[in-house]
Amino acid sequence: MFNRSTKKEKEKDKEKDGLVATHSPLAYPHRLNFYEEAPGHNITLEQFEMWAIDRLRVLAEIEAARVRNVPDGIKNIVNAQCEKYLMLHPNSDAASVELDTERRKDHVSHFVLRLAFCRSEELRQKFVKAETDLFKVRFLGEGTKDRAAFLASKSFGPSGQPISDDDKRLLKNQLMAATSSIKTDTDFESETFYRVHWTKVTDLVASRRVFIRGGYAYVPSASQSSIVLQAFQSRLTAALEMTARALPSLDEDDRLLPIINHFSQGFLAGIAGEHHGGGENSYGETVTKDMIDDMAKKHFPMCMRNIHNALRRDRQMKHQGRLQYTLFLKVLGLPIEEAILFWRESYANDQKTQDKFNKEYKYNIRHSYGLEGKRANYPARDCRSIITGNPPGANESHGCPFRHFSTSNLQSALSALYGVPSLSQDMSDILNAVEAKQYHVACTRVFELTHDNQGMAEGESVSHPNRYAARSRELEREKLARIQDKTKALTLTESDGAPSEDVSMLAGV
Amino acid sequence: MPSVEPQMTLAYYRRLFPWKSLYHWLNHQIPPTRLWTHREFAFTLQGDAYLRWNSFKDADDLKREVCRLNPSRFEVGAIYSGRPRDKKTIRPNLFVPNLRELVFDIDMDEYNEVRTCCSGKQVCKRCWGFIASAVDVLDQVLREQFGYTHILWVYSGRRGIHCWVSDQAALALSNESRWALVEYLELVRGGAQSEKRVHTRYKNGLGAMHPMLSEALSTLQGGFSDLVLEDQDCFRSTEGWNKLLRLLPQDDDIIATLREKWEEQDSIGEPSSSIDKWEDMRREIKKISKDSTRKKFLSIAVEEIVLQYTYPRIDSNVSKTRNHLLKSPFCLHPSTGNVCVPVDPARIHEFDPTNVPNIEQLLRELDQLIKEDGTEHHSDWERTSLAPYVRLMDQHVAGLMKEVRTANRAAALKGTDF
Ligand code: SF4
Ligand SMILES: [Zn+2]
């Protein structure tokens, strides 16, 4: 792909790519692209880098939005980002815009990032998710005619076999029960169902939105976009795995490798936020084990409060909870020596537990700090992974209370831990957000309620427990500074002024 | 602690373990294929060291190594793109799991909050009913909805059951498809902290239940009254009926009515049975006018209670990825000494986990045989109480091998190489 093929080969490639379309003057007749063929153009190293960075900006924003769980979906964000960095105009704009240029940039940048993101399972997954989201927004926003033309070019007619009228009548009850979008008999009559293998529509299967029999899913044409999106996703996943296998030949190219590595690291770091290392947080402060009880009360989001309280109550903690909490405390600024002391003291003091601690838990803690095993610098888990991760089983305390508690338990925990009155408007706001599966929003509301109605920075919602804690400490610091200023002013006028109650309360910080 | 001595496991591996059956089951054919040679085995040695990344030429090769190491148990893993034993010399990119049976694990642990007869590590024929109900549903879903036919159920040796699906299509499932299938199945969510753990309706509204769930419900309904109401009597105790009330719509008056009645029974020391309480509840619901929303929500809640108590609770992590290891059938459970025997799903309710072939008993049977014959044989299982279980396995394997043979023949006719 990079300046290596001869001119003739390139011409041939172009034909093969179907980029030279006879019925259209455009090399790229469609705005949408399944990225199945590598671009056959010469590009300069600068283009290589610039274009990739632009695309990376879009993808990083998508990933961030996903983590933040933006209420009205990512559509607006994607559109705004694309307008800045990766604009693709529809065919109707052909007169005024160089369509091929922007489509080529889209095509090339996708392939450059593939190289960067094929190198580990984690990166591949993130890349595929972000790219699929991007494609989805573009696909759903595409005009009917252009979309149909694109689908036809990919031979994406309705996939699978439409079922016969007899079958449809026979299965009516099941089909209607399985497909929540069909509400009335008229809806049903006008709908066509296609029989496709269930593995082709895993998202419909996973959310139990389709009827399945004998290995086949009965997909209404209204859900067709999900077939297309899934095809996009699974083809891209497969292609990335192949690229990964082919990649070592690229290792020889020492011009590209550093750039590529830089991309992927940047993306990962961007996602994980600036919170990485252990021992001290982004303010350069250290936390000691004795500060934790107090900090938990003042600054921890509910997930960590819950773990902390369970640990104090049970004097033990299951693996998942330990992991979630250890990493959180690490990023909070608790150094490894303190962490080990903290955990040892938290556990029951009998011989058996302490033996187990020395043999097993200590290793795990050191592992979390990157001092054992792979010695990786593990980031603390963000809300998304806590919320979507394994739900806590019996006797486990990890997870996100907004997601994993029953309503009544959540309610009493909110009252007990954060003082939210149980019959208040605030409580019902929070519970409504939970009901709508907007767990971050619920969490953000709790933050605001307990911080004089000040929220997270820049109107964000909570996306990471460490951000929650950091913001809470930041607000406290500001408050402390304000109070100090005030007391300074006061002491200047009333020289005998004892520090106000507020200040003594905050003095320990 | 281990009640199973190393010399017992060794004798078992040498003389009783049905190696051929295991080999055919995993390999699907007589000559070794990649399904066998590229398959990972992991050993847990006596003393708990854990050896991963073993792979073997054929059944004898595995048997030899098992007899040499004498592990307390061993696990079967995925089929990789290279031989697991060569893992160190293969570039990591090129060493990936390709195929794997679709597996499920159902453990009694998950039912601790609903069973009343046993606790902790114990299990009896009565609480086995929860596992049996789960098997009913899962087996049916896998066969009818996903179209799988080669499904093997294996008792885990103590408190649970494993399920292995060996259809070609199941072996080839991607992690993503496995994940989707598990999501499709999973219903009882949330930890012990949660009370209401089952929601069946889209946006918790009044819409219809997905057909998979309504079919499961009708499978479970009969068992629910036998198991939860009659046998386990889950709602007799104050704690039990309080839990029941918490699963009803929380603003409904019916709760107060029932609570009053049941509190009074408790106060005079005569708590009524779960069957009576269930009847009380049904009677109250019947009084409500037919088409009211209130009644609909209550009926949904009742359905969801049945599901919360009896719907399969699978350990989803086991099923979601290709590279998860699972204990091999016919291993011994290291503390009970029970053999992990295959179980016929059609007779799952008759199965008694306290009465399965056990190593001590099997060795006694063997001694008896030696006394009679004067010599030792290998594969002596045929003349012990292990025999019916090995036969069950062999029957299962025969179906699998037949299908593969037919497929191979068809492929050969078409001239494609297999
Ligand atoms: S939303 Fe995030 S920070 Fe808040 S409780 Fe849940 S996981 Fe913790
Ligand atoms: Zn029991």
Burial class (CB in 10 A: 0-12, 13-18, 19+), A91: middle
Exactly one of B101, B107, B110, B231 is catalytic; name it.
B107
What is the pLDDT at residue A299? 94
Domain membership flag for residue A274: no
Domain membership flag for residue A121: yes
What is the pLDDT at residue A15? 40
**Over residues A467-491, mean pLDDT:** 77
Question: Do A49 and A19 share a structural domain?
Answer: yes
A185-189, A401-405, A487-491, B347-351 — which is least confidently predicted?
A487-491
**Over residues A120-141, mean pLDDT:** 88
User: Given CB atoms, is A245 within the 8 Å cutoff of chain B?
Assistant: yes
Is pLDDT at B413 greater than 70 in this prediction? yes
* Percentage of chain A lying above the pLDDT 70 cut: 79
> Is residue A215 within 8 Å of A198, Cβ to Cβ?
yes
Question: Do A415 and A367 share a structural domain?
Answer: yes
Question: Do A182 and A120 share a structural domain?
Answer: no
Question: Do A254 and A214 share a structural domain?
Answer: no
User: Given CB atoms, is B48 within the 8 Å cutoff of chain A?
Assistant: no
Long-range contacts, A232-235 (Cβ 8 Å, 24+): A232/A34, A232/A131, A232/A132, A232/A135, A233/A128, A233/A132, A234/B174, A234/B176, A235/A34, A235/A36
Partners of B342 in beta bridges: B154
pLDDT band, very low/low/confident/very high, at B264 (cuts 50, 70, 90): very high
Domain membership flag for residue A501: no
Closest to B219 (Cα-Cα) out of B318, B322, B140, B319: B140
Rounded CA separation A352/A344 (Å): 13
Question: Do A148 and A227 share a structural domain?
Answer: no
What is the pLDDT at residue A469? 92
Question: Do A253 and A122 share a structural domain?
Answer: yes
Is pLDDT at A494 greater than 50 in this prediction? no
What is the pLDDT at residue A3? 42
Question: Is the Cβ atom of A468 under 6 angstroms away from ligand 1?
Answer: yes
A180 vs B393 pLDDT, higher one:
B393
Question: Do A108 and A96 share a structural domain?
Answer: yes
pLDDT band, very low/low/confident/very high, at B192 (cuts 50, 70, 90): low
Rounded CA separation A259/A316 (Å): 46
> Is residue A177 within 8 Å of A145, Cβ to Cβ?
no
**Over residues B320-327, mean pLDDT:** 91
Domain membership flag for residue A475: no
**Over residues B161-183, mean pLDDT:** 95
Q: How far is the CA of A440 from the centre of ligand 1 (A)?
A: 6
B127-160, pLDDT tens digit by residue? Answer: 999 999 999 999 999 999 999 999 999 999 999 9
B13-63, pLDDT tens digit by residue? Answer: 999 999 999 999 999 999 999 999 999 999 999 888 999 999 999 999 999
β-pair type (B39-44, A211-213): unpaired
Strand ranges inside B243-356, DSSP E: 326-327, 342-343
Active-site annotation holds for B48: no
A267-317, pLDDT tens digit by residue? Answer: 654 432 322 334 444 445 678 888 899 999 999 999 999 999 999 998 888
Rounded CA separation B160/B336 (Å): 13
Rounded to 10 degrees, the C-alpha dihedral A259/A260/A261/A266 comes to 90
A24-63, pLDDT tens digit by residue? Answer: 578 888 989 999 888 876 777 777 778 888 898 888 878 7
The Cα-based distances of B226 to B106, B111, B124 in angstroms read: 21, 16, 16
Active-site annotation holds for B252: no
What is the pLDDT at residue A52? 84
Sheet holding B342-343, edge to edge: B102-107, B160-165, B151-155, B342-343
pLDDT band, very low/low/confident/very high, at A497 (cuts 50, 70, 90): very low
Could you tell me the domains of chain B?
A: 6-184+313-413 (3.90.920.10), 189-310 (no CATH)
- Domain interval for residue A429: 289-465
B274-299, pLDDT tens digit by residue? Answer: 999 999 999 999 999 888 999 999 99
> Is residue A175 within 8 Å of A188, Cβ to Cβ?
yes
Rounded CA separation B190/B345 (Å): 28
DSSP string for residues in B256-277:
HHHHHHHHHHHHTT-PPPHHHH
User: Given CB atoms, is B346 within the 8 Å cutoff of chain A?
Assistant: no
Is pLDDT at A429 greater than 80 in this prediction? yes
A244-266, pLDDT tens digit by residue? Answer: 877 665 555 556 666 666 666 65
Is pLDDT at A1 greater than 50 in this prediction? no
Burial class (CB in 10 A: 0-12, 13-18, 19+), A421: exposed
Among A107-116, A284-293, A475-484, B230-239, top mean pLDDT goes to B230-239
Side chain identity at residue B112, one-letter code: N
Chain B residue at shortest CA distance from A237 = B176
Question: Do A310 and A214 share a structural domain?
Answer: no
A60-74, A404-418, B388-402 — which is least confidently predicted?
A60-74
Rounded CA separation A102/A444 (Å): 39
> What ipTM was predicted for this assembly?
0.93
* Percentage of chain A lying above the pLDDT 90 cut: 22
A118 has binding-site annotation: no
Domain membership flag for residue A450: yes
Question: Do A115 and A188 share a structural domain?
Answer: no
DSSP letter (8 states) at residue B358: B
CA B300 to chain centre: 28
Q: How far is the CA of B58 from the centre of ligand 1 (A)?
A: 51
B330-380, pLDDT tens digit by residue? Answer: 999 998 999 999 999 999 999 999 999 999 999 999 888 888 877 666 567
B80-134, pLDDT tens digit by residue? Answer: 999 999 999 988 778 889 999 999 999 999 999 899 999 888 899 999 999 999 9
A82 has binding-site annotation: no
Question: Do A40 and A171 share a structural domain?
Answer: no
What is the pLDDT at residue B220? 97
Give contacts of B 315-344 with A, CB under 8 A. Answer: 316-317
Nearest chain B Cα distance for residue A160, angstroms: 17
Give contacts of B 132-171 with A, CB under 8 A. Answer: 144-148, 169
Chain B residue at shortest CA distance from A306 = B193
**Over residues A192-199, mean pLDDT:** 89
Q: Which ligand is nearest to the CA of B108?
A: 2
pLDDT band, very low/low/confident/very high, at A145 (cuts 50, 70, 90): confident
Helices A465-493 & A439-450 angle (0-180, nearest 10): 10
Give contacts of A 391-410 with B, CB under 8 A. Answer: 391-396, 399, 404-409
Domain membership flag for residue A503: no
A383 has binding-site annotation: yes
Domain membership flag for residue A478: no
What does residue A100 show for φ and ψ, rounded to 5 degrees? -60, -35
- Which domain CATH number covers A259? 1.20.930.80
Helices B274-287 & B293-310 angle (0-180, nearest 10): 160
Question: Do A192 and A115 share a structural domain?
Answer: no
Question: Do A395 and A258 share a structural domain?
Answer: no
**Over residues A219-232, mean pLDDT:** 82
> How many domains, chain A?
3
Rounded CA separation A302/A465 (Å): 9
What is the pLDDT at residue A19? 43
SS3 B173: coil
What is the pLDDT at residue A8? 43
- For A67, the enclosing helix (H) or strand (E) is helix A45-68
Domain membership flag for residue A504: no
Computed over every residue of chain A, the mean pLDDT equals 79
A45-54, A206-215, A485-494, B381-390 — which is least confidently predicted?
A485-494
